[in-house]
Amino acid sequence: MNYAKNIGSKIRFERKSRGLTIDDFAKIIGMAPGFLGLIERGQRGTSIANMVKIAQFFNITLDELIITTGHSDGTLSSPPASNKIDKDRKALISMITTMSDDKIQILTANAKALNKYLPNCNAKEALDDNTYYDSDFQ
């Protein structure tokens, strides 16, 4: 089993699922983009310290970073997120870890204000109901 390739695929999957470029992610974790590219392609391994840093950023365990699922054709893929909400939650946590204190305060204030407008509905109702996007927020 090629662990470097599996780990690299998982890192790329997690990075892309959060909408991060390789340059942005490399800067966040303090790694050269070229080296990160080699890791993602499975051409280089990385230290446990780097894997811990990456897993913490993605809010996943080392097991989740290392373990992949296989397909009958021999290809590997990352385990799917347990559901859309978990994936969204992880993406938000990742974004917040890179924000300045000022941006976090703005985000918090906006989330509190938004919560007042959506007290008793679920996400699907909010997305399906255009009234939440009309004059309420303008």
pLDDT digits (tens, 9 = 90+) for 27-67: 989 999 999 999 999 999 999 999 999 998 888 888 888 87
In whole numbers, what is the pLDDT of the chain averaged over residues?
77
Q: Give this prediction's pTM.
A: 0.55
Structural domain boundaries enclosing 71? 3-80
Q: Say if residue 103 is in the same domain as residue 76.
A: no
98, amino acid identity: T
Residue 62 lies in a domain: yes
Identify the CA nearest to 95 among candidates 20, 9, 12, 8.
Answer: 20
CATH of the domain at 32: 1.10.260.40
Query: Are residues 76 and 11 part of one domain?
Result: yes
Mean pLDDT for the stretch of residues 93-115: 82
